[in-house]
Amino acid sequence: MADKTESYVDPNHSAPPTIVFTQSEINDYLNFLELPQYCNLSPEAPRDVKLLTALHQMQITKVPYENLALHYSSHHSTNLDPKFIHNKILTQKGRGGYCMEISIFFCALLRAIGFNVYHTGVRGRNRKNGVPEGPFMEVAHIINIVTFPSGEKYGVDVAFGGDGMTKPMRLVAHEVSLNMGTQEVRYELAPIAQFASDHKLWIYQYRNQKDRPWVSFYCFAEVPYLHGDFVLMSEWVNRNSPFQVDFVLMIKFLWDGKSVYGKKMFIQDVLKQNDGGKTRVVRECRTEQERIQLLQEEFGIELSEEEINGIKGTKTELR
């Protein structure tokens, strides 16, 4: 008689993901986002692309991409707990977080509202003069994937900084979306050179004019990651990523009441603004006092004395 093989079944395998927010916390955050009036969040209302798009756009225009905790703090680290980030955004005026902070929080929010969503790891590319080039690197970014009852899937990235998508993108190869100004974005489904196989990944691409070639920003697979995976990654990024360690960053998209029309980008000591066309320099800082004043006047951020002292003696301090 053949041996009977029994497979191990995790008793929690089919359990739904944990909802980390109370209804009161959800309501507080949705009030903060100031969603358009057409958004219906009643229990019986559909969780559709229209609602997802509104949540995405209000998130990126209300909550900046920023890495201040890595520079203006005594611990120089980030906290990926969704409740901590919820409290940070609502109580610390003008604050947001960097990619893993904001996307993990946003995934938890979408899940609490009723969307079917998970996050996965992303491989980016190094840049030269702001343009991505060369091979895809280690996993150091994050994207959320939302699946609808129809089977359609959308990529949702609310924390890629100034080059991020301004609305959810359907996971369909070569479907072009207008992003901001004349910039277009799309996904390609193709293998990457670093993998010794023909396994295909989703590749996020952009071009700033229709007559220009497509440039690949990052790639990812439809593989769910655990929260702990990003905790480990974040520890590495906090200490080793030149983009995070060597620069104070603050990027926020601009909303005119109908659409995302521009963005403010503060990198170390220079504030630039793009209103959907050409990028221009708005302000420059020479001292820490000037940078602290800029954060307050341009982004509404008031740093505490303890936070201000945290940057003293570090390589990102303006002297």
Position 17 scores a pLDDT of 64
117-146 confidence digits (pLDDT tens): 999 999 999 988 888 999 999 999 999 999
Phi/psi class of residue 183: alpha, beta or left (left: φ > 0; alpha: ψ in -120 to 50)? Answer: beta
Position 14 scores a pLDDT of 47
What is the arithmetic mean of pLDDT over 268-291? Answer: 95
Position 16 scores a pLDDT of 54
Torsion, CA 134, CA 138, CA 141, CA 143, rounded to 10: 90
Q: How far apart are CA 104 and CA 110, in angstroms?
A: 10
Q: Domains in the chain, ordered, with CATH?
A: 23-60+76-227 (3.30.2140.20)
Q: How far apart are CA 155 and CA 106, in angstroms?
A: 13
pTM, two decimals, is 0.93
Residues 6+ away with beta carbon under 8 Å from 216: 125, 132, 188, 203, 204, 205
Average pLDDT of the chain to the nearest whole number:
93
Percent of the chain with pLDDT over 90: 87
